[in-house]
Structure formats: C-alpha cells, structure tokens
Amino acid sequence: MSSPGEGLAEVAVLGLLSPVVAGTTGERLTSDRSVVAAMVRAEASLVRALVRAGVAPVSAEPAAAAIADAEVDVRDLAERAVEGGNPVIPLVKVLRAAAAEESAGWVHYGATSQDILDTALMLVAGDVVRRIEAGLTRLAATLARMADEHRSLPMVARTLTQQAMPTTLGMRIAGWLAGVHDAVRSVRSCVPLPVSLGGAVGTNAAYGEHGPAVVEAFAAELDLAAPVSPWHTRRTPVIDLAGALTLAGESCGKIAADVLVTAQTEIGEVREGTGGASSVMAHKANPTQSMLVVAAARELPPLASIVSAAGAPEQERPAGAWHSEWQPLRTMLRLSAGAAERTAGLVEGLRFDPDAIARNLDHLLAALGEDPGWVVAQTEHVGLWIDRVLAQHSEVFR
C-alpha cells in the first residue's frame, strides 16, 4: 500500500486529544491504514473462497495475490467514498484494475459493500480484542498477587464518599480482580467474530446452491466464524462486541476511580509510580494514568449506545444505521484497548502508604469509640472472599 495522499497532515487525527490511546497497539491496529488492509485481505480471501467452493475457476486464484499487492492511497479512497457512501466502492475499482483482465470479474464477485466492510471491521476487532485480553490478563496477574499480599492489611472502607467500616486492602483489590475476570470472560465470548457475506440483499443469489460453501470457505480463509445466515440487519455480533468493550473499559475505570480518590492529598493511601506534572504547580504529582483511564471508561457507554441504536435497522439493508456504527465502534476498540494497556501499567506501579492507611483507620476508630481489636473482628472473615476470588482467577486463566 502506498503512502497517504498529500495534505494528510492537515486533517490527520494523531491522538492529541486522546492520550489514553496515543501510542498504543490498539491505536495502530485500528488506523485507517489497518482498516483498508483488512478490506483488501477480505477481497483477496473472497476470491480464494470462490475457487475453493467451485464457483470460480482455478485460473481466477492469481487475482487474490494481485489485489493483495495493490497500492491503495488511503486518503484518496476516503475522499472518493463520499460519492457512494462507503470506501468499498472505490476500493473495488482499484483492486479490479490491479487484477489481470481475465480474472478481474471475480474480484468482489457476489459480495456487497457491507459484506467487505463488516468483515474488515471484524478482522480489525479480532486483533484488538486479543490485545485487550492480553492487557487484562497482565492486569489480573498483578491484582491476584497484590490481593493475596495485602489480604490482612486493615483499612477504611468508604461508602457515599464517607468513612464507613473496616475492610482490608486485599479485599478491595480482590473486588477489582473479580471485575477484571468478568471483563475477560465477556471479551472471550466475542471471538471468533463472524465474516459477513450475504450479497446484495442477504440471499447470496450469485452463488446459488454453493452459498453456504462459499461462506464457510471465506470464514476459513480469514480464521473467522461462519454465521448461520447473513447478518446485514442482525447486528448481534457488533452489539455484543460493544458490550464487551464497555465492560472491559469500566473494569479498568473502577480501579482507576478508586486510585483517584485514595490518592487525594488528604487521604494519601496510594500514589502512582510516576506522578504527572502540573503546568503551574510544581509541588503536585497528579495521578495522570488513572485520570486517563477514567476518562476512557466514561466515553465508552455513550458510544455503545450509538452502536446499540443501530441494532433495529429496516428491511434487508439499512440506510444510515449501519453507517453510524463505524466510527463509534473503532473509537470503542481504541479506548478499551488503551484502558487495558494503561491500567496494567498503572497497577504495576502503584505505591501504597501503610502509615496513611493506618492514620485514616485511626480516625474511624476514634469516631466510633472502638479499639484495634474491633477491627480484627470486623475483617477476620474477608480472607474467605479473597480466596474465592483467587480460586476464580485460577479457573479463568487455567
């Protein structure tokens, strides 16, 4: 693929306003270039699938290699997408021109634009989901160690922003860990994501009786799942994916939100390994990583609502509903992957202050007129719950 068109720097989004994403693997995997590469891969795989299923002759197969090597100007493709409403239409023209004349007709044969773009987004999403799971796995391993290490360290539990009753640091961390377990299970349930191949109106009319075989071969070529039927207007895969991405981000956001509160100067129970600088107050060490993760977690639910709103489209192919998914879904992939990656690093660098934890607990004891023995009585059972979470950890990652 060639370099983007001239003038791209004037309009490029380079992560300036989304530092939680900037420089992450998720950002790279969801770039416009990566989406175009996935579309090209889908088109090449379709040609091979047509040959495997007996729809296209063997002589058509070299077209797959030819279009895989085609040079595509991403910016030019984006500008030309305006006319037809999606980037697949101009892409097909480029790819057919790259194929030999006698096999060019098999490029995009029997497919529609939605098939290729949906499949490409599933390819991109699959790559990102694997990175999210890797980030959550790294995070969970750290939390499991910390929950066990601090299982008996008493501290103040807070409800409705106020000191409430005693808990232990290990119990709090075990709660974080259980949330990450939920997210890992949800993310895993999404993969493998399905290919999309239904043709103009979801009947695969061009393939006739070979339709199911073509879909199976197409899925096998891309290492994706073969759907039971075309899903142009059955958006379950995308809606489920959006839900998993939201849960992953919010499991990280919960951890970061707790750090933000307990890192406040007046509480001081924890600090990030490297504090962020202030532009005007040199004495501050801001919990910057936690702040970025919380921001990502808050962005995800409204984006998921846009994806969900596209889940009741009209007739066999919708106008506008499908189109509204693209950017929110891509942003969700970036935010969730960024949150998982940042939170894994954040937790590894956390520094707890036992003196501050003890000092705050003394305030609670003074307010209640209790002694340290009462704290032991209130927290002696929490190890049972920590053990349950750690046992679940072994099941999730066995």
Mean pLDDT of 265-294: 78
Domains of the chain and any CATH numbers: 18-396 (1.20.200.10)
- What b/e sequence results for 243-262 when a residue is b if at least 16 CB atoms lie within 10 Å of its CB, and e otherwise? bbbbbbbbbbbbbbbbbbeb
For residue 107, give the 3-state DSSP assignment.
Answer: coil
Return all residues near 31 (Cβ < 8 A) that are at least 6 apart: none
**pLDDT value at position 275?**
61
pLDDT for 358-382, tens place per residue?
A: 999 999 999 999 999 999 999 999 9
Q: What is the pTM of this model?
A: 0.93
pLDDT more than 90, % of the chain? 89
* Percentage of residues of the chain with pLDDT beyond 70: 95
- For residue range 123-168, what is the model confidence (pLDDT) as tens digits? 999 999 999 999 999 999 999 999 999 999 999 999 999 999 999 9
Kindly list the catalytic residues: 278, 317
pLDDT at 274: 76
Q: Calculate the alpha carbon distances from 263 to 161, 173, 247, 260, 292 in Å.
A: 14, 15, 24, 5, 15
pLDDT at 4 over 50: no
pLDDT of residue 7: 61
**Two tokens, residue 377:** 């009585």
Task: Give the residue among 314, 303, 117, 307 at the shortest CA–CA distance from 233.
Answer: 314
**Nearest by Cα to 347 from 131, 182, 138:** 138
Taking only the tens place, the pLDDT of each residue in 238-247 is 999 999 999 9
